[in-house]
Structure 1
């Protein structure tokens, strides 16, 4: 089955400059249907730049509840709900996040005086943390990645792994550098789209945040593994020479991959 992964943007949550957008993606089927992988606050603008709008989205996957991944869901939900010609997009989200997505993030503006619910806007399909979902004949498996620690509580972002006739693919979503935790997963994949921050102090010293894998951390991976990695979710402006360091490169806004 022929599919395409297209990056609407490849920048981090606070990207301004470089002409880039936040790292939200589209998976496009051979029949032209579109699965939006996260719908951040830049989504309506990054989609419009690609000549697309809310009614062009058939389904949305939510990896976790930060605004660069869900901040555009109000726009998507309202744009289809109030359009009589539009259907409800399907929504895939890890089952323990469904209630929080509505109660803590969307209900304040979308509940319409308490009368509406998430299911009015989306065909919600909860997914077990250790499970997956089917879309357009393709199976996608949720892959929990440690994003940050909220005190003693781990914040998990759910990436996606999937296998097609072209190989085995991993999209990390937001993940700390934890090679001892993900070594087997890295070995399994033929191509990895890995979030990568590029923060440095003014004197050139790396300044990792501890909530995303840092470029200098990823550089310590074995050469064979670095050769699988496309890097995204980076800061605007200066970036190291990823290809010279053995990576496939930094993903550019709008770049598409045949998967």
Structure 2
């Protein structure tokens, strides 16, 4: 008991200048590291010295957001900037950026599409960690929409109605780019599945490597054989007050990019986010 209390006091004493607070979505969880924000039985604190290298076996096949966090962690570790990362939950990215601008967190802990956010003077945008064309998504519909699912890779989206969230500008651009007959915009992602299952829309875009997605309002089924590559890159976005942290991230990303092979790209390949598995699938964006 005394050891446990000592550990708590040690952690609490570090949640200050020696801690980097990063925002993550409230539903983020990593089982391997038992890491989550605000979830019972999981830790929201990660000692920087324990962050594995980007090519570590511990990160093989991990979520993209986990790799985003580990890029941040390795950057601050290399600069000896802080001792701990602390995960702070938010309901959506807009709220995460608001927390950052209000000095509640130091930065959003995942890479973001620059085009999804207003170019304000109080935001700093790093070099991309995921470049144009590397972010690919699948075409999804709901289980009851057999009329859409049965189309398979012969799907003609010019006859179908796409669905996405109003604030997801990059998804909207992709739906327009592939020639969707109509693009329906919803206020939150939790409404997407029901909107499609009720017949008001036909399909949406989501995680390419997952045949079934349940994180956007209900169960969505991937249509095999087709994908969409985004004409957009993803970077870390910070409030302008954090210039030192921004420079650390910039230097680290640049340094890793200069390695042969490119260590940032290899990291996302290692995580399974960038993969050759779907190279033969028809890209509707081309």
* Greater radius of gyration (CA): 2
TM-score normalised over the length of structure 1: 0.27
Larger relative contact order, structure 1 or 2 (CA cutoff 8 Å, min sep 6): 2
TM-score normalised to structure 2 length: 0.25
Higher strand share: 1
